[in-house]
Amino acid sequence: MPEKVTFVDLGRISYQEALDRQIDIHKKLINRKLKIRNGEKVEGGAEHHLFFCEHNPVYTLGKSGSIDNLLLSESQLEDENIDFFKTNRGGDITYHGPGQLVGYPIFDFDYFYHDVHKYVFDMEEAIILSLKETGIKATRIKGLTGVWIKGVNGQKDRKICAIGIHLSRWVSLHGFALNVNTAMQYFDNIIPCGIDDKSKDVTSIEAETGKSQNMNTIKSIVKRNFAKVFGFEYK
């Protein structure tokens, strides 16, 4: 039987509030796992969740990232009304904000598989399939996490979706950030994902297609492809 996943659209939400929601589910899944290992009886299956949201403007720095990749001072962040968080996810610095679809799978991977690389691959695959439905041919670039559009005829390679995860006792936190109608100027204040390469850039579905996207339509597409790639069903 496929695993069941509870889907919740959190809407527009602060980064801290969304993180608190993730941590609450994460702790419950880990506590359930520990009870099973201790021989205690538990009721029902694992309560996997998939959160979608849009954040207020915020820069987040991964545990392996460098603060030097943030190009604004603390006072400038305050002036621009942009939050900043150090996190325990993988990766370097990125931006979240309105017009960007952020997804947080909180899954107990004891019920899926024990393979971090496959998890990242599958998340990328769900986004690649989703972008295909918008007419965008996206791919992976070896050695670089996330989803990209390869440059042709002198164009830069463009990152359209960032991925940063954390796993504790095989329970996942954090996830992906897909640029849909994102205001791209916010990326000028950072070295996105720590990639200081003039042949690389960031982009959005809006920028690639030349038209604003219906966020609810994109959410529906991505939601469906996550279930398809990971092989679960929504409750």
Residue numbers annotated as active site: 193
What the block records as the tokens of 131 is: 């972008």
**Quick count: other Cβ atoms within 10 Å of Cβ 150?**
13
Phi/psi for 58 (5° steps) reads -155, 140
- Tell me 57's DSSP state: S
**Concatenated DSSP letters of 70-86:** B-S-HHHHHHHT-EEEE
Nearest residue to 194 (alpha-carbon basis) of 94, 84, 58? 94
Specify whether the CB–CB gap between 12 and 53 falls below 8 A: yes
What the block records as the tokens of 159 is: 């990152």
